[in-house]
Amino acid sequence: MKISKRMAILCTLMLACNYVSAQSQTSEPSQDPTAPFRLYRTTNFWTFIELETTTGRMRQIQFDVSGSSRGSTVLNSQDLAMGKDKHPGRFTLYPTSNMYTFILLDQVDGGTWQVQWAIEAINRLVLPISD
């Protein structure tokens, strides 16, 4: 009986260690929600979106190992706060089930925009979502 109890405890500890290890490999780094800039992961391994949380300006950030596709592209250059109540943390991004699309939310006045990143410039867009 002692051996099977020890085996059960050992198996439980091993499973718990595997779970913790898997979680640490896939979890996002913590970010300050009031920081002036935040980086959002896309489901594309090579692509992130950088958000200026004060104005809603965004850039598509790409990295690679060879350097031939490394760089950034402007997704939105307009000040979506329109000069009013600018403060870090005003804007945030929410992923959708479409890998290329995020929803940008103005947490002060509730404004929303559809943000679509893409490799090809013609497929990138930031459009207001209105009633």
- For the cut 90, the answer to whether the pLDDT of residue 120 exceeds it is yes
Going from N- to C-terminal start, the domains of the chain cover 31-129
In tens, the pLDDT along 100-119 reads 999 999 999 999 999 999 99
pTM of the model: 0.75
**What is the reported pLDDT for 64?**
85
Q: Which residue has the tokens 């300006």?
A: 57
Q: What is the mean pLDDT of the chain?
A: 84
- For the cut 90, the answer to whether the pLDDT of residue 90 exceeds it is yes
